[in-house]
Amino acid sequence: MGATGARRRASSFTVPNNPVTVGIVLRWSALGSLVICVVLVLVLPWPLPYEQPIEEIMQDRSSHLQEQCQTILDHGNLSASSARTLKPQYLYYNYFYQPQFQMLWCSINKVASSSWMYQFNRWAGVSREKIAQAARDMKALARMYYPVPTRADVEQIKRNVDLPVIRFLLVRDPMDRFVSAYEDLIVRPQSDNYLTLRRFIFREVYGLDTPSGSENGTSPPVPSFSDFTEFVLRRPNVLDPHWDTYYNLCDPCFLQPTVIVKLETYDRDVAHLLQLAHVPTGADNYDNARGKAFEGHRLNVNHHRASGDTLHRNASTIDRLAELTKEQFERLYRRYELDFRLFQYDASHYFAMYGTD
């Protein structure tokens, strides 16, 4: 009797053999799978990172830029702080035409410009030793081999459909770039010019060469980020290329770049650019300043800057911006608003810091 009861209890745990019951279980399982898929589609970012083909990404960036430029042309949608201030004859001083690989590059300081200036010099046949001697002014060295193009030159390059030229520039989050300029030029100046600039900053903000209570030393004390920001905002005529706007430096609406490299996706974007230009991967054609062949990762002289963790860099930017008042930040954003718009950078997380929509 005990054995029979045990067998009966064991049989109560077996899978039901009723076809109707099995069908219900399968239908509910299918429904559950469908619900999970729907939830994943709604929750996960779309498109997933790097899922979109790089060709489409570049086309989207170029198309967006052209749409914004057309809006500016149609409506004159330029604030006074965003309007171009450079004289026309200087507009193309940052353009470099590389005939070997059919590239037209607009150089922007604080966006891997040293790396690319190094590479353009190497493509011109300049030795590493000579570049090292001119490390502080690689741009002047490059100009010996790449004359400044005229507007007519660029127009002709753009019209040449038989031998298309890759027009490109590199950008990064404008606030990241502005903070980087402060860190590299004001906190850790590499030349006497920027040491002297410290005094000008204090004079502009406080009316004297050093702030009240500062001790006189061999070099001026470091202005705060707030002081530096106030100086830049008050002196729009000080057009230092390290913090001048992309719009002012490159006239992107005229250049109409076919490739826009972003520092945030640098490795992927540069690999695409080099593939388009058919740049061979040997060290003679793509130099990383260490004498090694290009491995497909990064054009580098200052490779540590380009490869730094994006979240870490942005956290540093957030920390610096937190030193500003809401009014200062809003004025700073207006200075760079056009750069944000043209190159699809979102400033909402910055405004959220100040409770501003």
Q: Give one DSSP letter per residue of 138-202, joined into a string.
A: HHHHHHTTSPPPPHHHHHHHHH--SS--EEEEEE--HHHHHHHHIIIIIIS-SSHHHHHHHHHHH
Q: Which amino acid is at 333?
A: Y
As a whole number, the mean pLDDT across the chain is 81
Q: Say if residue 19's pLDDT is above 90.
A: no
356 within 8 A of 330, measured Cβ to Cβ: yes
Note the pLDDT of residue 38.
63
Q: Say if residue 349's pLDDT is above 70.
A: yes
Note the pLDDT of residue 242.
95
Q: Does 197 or 220 have the greater pLDDT score?
A: 197
Residue 254 CB: number of other CB atoms within 10 A?
A: 14
Q: Supply 114's token pair.
A: 């040293």
Q: Say if residue 7's pLDDT is above 80.
A: no
Q: Say if residue 300's pLDDT is above 80.
A: no
Note the pLDDT of residue 42.
63
Smallest CA-to-CA distance from 200 within 179, 226, 220, 178 is with: 220
Note the pLDDT of residue 355.
82
Smallest CA-to-CA distance from 57 within 255, 252, 264 is with: 264
Average of pLDDT values for 217-234? 88
Note the pLDDT of residue 39.
61
Three-state secondary-structure class, residue 262 = strand
Which residues, listed in sequence order, are joined to residue 335 by a DSSP beta bridge?
A: none
Note the pLDDT of residue 81.
46
Q: Which amino acid is at 286?
A: Y
Sequence-distant (≥ 6) Cβ neighbours of residue 152 within 8 angstroms? none
Three-state secondary-structure class, residue 217 = coil
Note the pLDDT of residue 238.
79
169 within 8 A of 106, measured Cβ to Cβ: yes
Gap between the Cα atoms of 14 and 160, Å rounded: 77
Three-state secondary-structure class, residue 285 = coil
Q: What is the pLDDT of residues 95-136, one digit of tens each?
A: 999 999 999 999 999 999 999 999 999 999 999 999 999 888
pTM: 0.77
Note the pLDDT of residue 191.
86
